């Protein structure tokens, strides 16, 4: 907290030393946030963005884990889709937006396509890596004890790969968040990206910085609440961290 207070103090001094219109201080940003919370604009935008994020990320997580496991354990899937997934990962998610707009129009589906494609591939590759790092001796031992088919997958392979899958899910959440905001910035959507663009159009830099502060706060909160404790518990259970 001390370091955070120091950063805010440096921010305040820097804003007073320059053009406060272009670089408003923390007090200006706080006032802008207060006014937009009272008007309801910011709460509605946050709710809209989080709802979109939940839908797109859920699809990415389910499909990404399944595809990652298939890439790691099914030879023909690796031979056919492996290079495609790796190559598509190099494309920034916002590049999919023009195609999504042409395919689905100015609607929710276009945004969801960007969110899914932005996070799906990173989850897939992380899951594939996690499954590939399972010791072969563990799988052979499970088969010797009679584990085959669905039982082998559900009781051995997925639990053994869980630490890596959770780390990939955490990374995928970050990519989904970035992809969502990039998509919302580029056309009217009612989310945080639109509020950010509204601030730019109105030359309201306090609102722009305020939305950026909200984005950082939401990112930190979601990481702490959704993944921080879960990843620590999983790693501790698997003996990867000290108790």
**pLDDT the model gives residue 17:** 76
**pLDDT the model gives residue 243:** 47
**pLDDT the model gives residue 60:** 93
| CA distances to 79, 102, 118, 125, 195 from 70, in Å | 11, 31, 20, 11, 40
Residue spans of the domains in the chain: they are 25-237
**pLDDT the model gives residue 123:** 92
User: For the residues of 136-201, what is the DSSP string, one character each?
Assistant: HHHHHHHHHTT--HHHHIIIIIHHHHHHHHHHHHHHHHHHHHHHHHHHHHHS--SSHHHHHHHHHH
Residues of the chain under the 70 pLDDT cut:
1, 18-19, 147, 149, 187-188, 235, 237-243
Distance (Å, rounded) from C-alpha 233 to C-alpha 72?
25
CATH top class, domain 25-237:
mainly alpha
**pLDDT the model gives residue 64:** 92
């Amino acid at each position: 907290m001390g370091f955070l207070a120091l950063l805010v103090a440096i921010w305040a001094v820097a804003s007073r030393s320059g053009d406060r219109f272009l670089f408003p201080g923390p007090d200006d940003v706080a006032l802008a946030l207060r006014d937009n919370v009272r008007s309801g604009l910011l709460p509605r935008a946050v709710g809209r963005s989080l709802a979109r994020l939940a839908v797109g990320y859920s699809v990415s997580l389910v499909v990404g884990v399944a595809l990652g496991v298939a890439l790691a354990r099914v030879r023909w899937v690796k031979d056919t889709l492996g290079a495609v997934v790796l190559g598509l990962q190099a494309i920034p998610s916002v590049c999919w937006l023009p195609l999504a707009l042409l395919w689905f129009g100015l609607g929710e589906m276009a945004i969801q396509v960007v969110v899914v494609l932005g996070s799906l591939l990173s989850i897939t590759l992380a899951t594939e890596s996690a499954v590939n790092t399972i010791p072969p001796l563990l799988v052979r031992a499970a088969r010797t004890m009679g584990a085959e088919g669905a039982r082998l997958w559900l009781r051995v392979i997925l639990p053994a790969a869980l630490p890596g899958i959770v780390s990939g899910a955490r990374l995928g959440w970050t990519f989904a968040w970035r992809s969502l905001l990039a998509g919302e910035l580029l056309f009217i959507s009612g989310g945080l990206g639109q509020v950010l663009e509204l601030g730019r159009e109105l030359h309201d830099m306090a609102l722009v910085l305020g939305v950026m502060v909200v984005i950082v706060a939401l990112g930190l909160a979601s990481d702490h609440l959704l993944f921080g404790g879960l990843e620590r518990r999983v790693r501790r259970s698997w003996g990867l961290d000290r108790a």
